[in-house]
Amino acid sequence: MYTLGEIAEFIDAKLIGDANIKITSIASTVSAQNDQLTYVVNKRYKPDLIASQAGVVILNDNLLSDCPTNALVVDDVYLAFAKITHYFKKQVTHSTGVHSSAKTNNAKIADGCVIGENVVIGQNCIISTHSSIEDGVTIGDNVYLHPNVTILQGCSIGNNVVISPGAVIGSEGFGNARDQQNHWHAIAHLGNVVIGDNVTIGANTTIDRGTIEDTEIHDGVRIDNLVHIAHNVIVGKDTAIAANTGIAGSTILGKRCMIGGMVGIVGHLNICDDVIVNAKSTVDKDIKTPGMYTGIMPLMLHKQWQNVGLWLVKLDKITKYLNVKLKNLKDQ
């Protein structure tokens, strides 16, 4: 917990408001309460800012007049946010064996496992050798963790879940902000990973924790080996994702989707229910209609790709035009 005065010092911000107000945590602009901090990067989020109940907002001068609460004014909002996240990140106890506060409910825990503080494990669970479960993790009933599984602090695993060897749940997301010297500043990810019931997760798959909100894997999802799911992604019920697929941050996949192997899905997309994406495809825009999609092109300079893409979407019109021309020539 920090006062606004302290936070302003941490990020070198101009404080507009009461320096003595105490802030307990960070939240999204929409969900933040009067004891929480949030941030707004640009005018795209102006409606959320105006309606926000946050105790304080990090923003720049051009949004200050729209701020209904205390403000921390900075030149680079994203960089300031990156810096302040580290002050609110919970520290993990580095113990060996099973922590005395853990509730294991007679789970079968193999040699070499580490179970952190305040972990809760349900009935009939198997925790295989050299697996690590950090502080505050909750695990449901009938969960099977294969060897060398890592579940980091605060994550939640549902019932009847199988996690294969080497999988990592709740790893730090890939979020960074640059300063004026082009040096990177990592963002501490404060959300968790929430996994539903009847989920299977393949070997060496990585699911990153959310930045502020949680990464969510809903009931019945099937995830293959070597899949990377980035921060804040939501995977809908009964979706299946094949090996070597990467899903970038804040993308939402609908229910009953099937994602082929080596698919790349860029961030901040919405993919509707009942979508099939064929192997090696790149998804770079929202998918609003159920169906089967393919998008495979060879590597080329980006400018060349833009030209190719422009012509590809016009091919049907060009074909119709040429057919009309040919028909006219034949009729002459």
Q: CA-CA distance, 304 to 306, in Å (whole number)?
A: 5
**Identified catalytic residue from 99, 146, 185, 231:** 231
In this predicted structure, what is the pLDDT of residue 253?
Answer: 98
In this predicted structure, what is the pLDDT of residue 238?
Answer: 98
Does residue 231 have an active-site annotation?
yes
Residues of the chain short of pLDDT 70, as ranges, are 298-299
Nearest to 83 by CA among 7, 23, 192: 7
Q: How far is CA 273 from CA 105, 237, 281, in A?
A: 38, 9, 18
pTM, two decimals, is 0.90
In this predicted structure, what is the pLDDT of residue 322?
Answer: 86
In this predicted structure, what is the pLDDT of residue 298?
Answer: 65
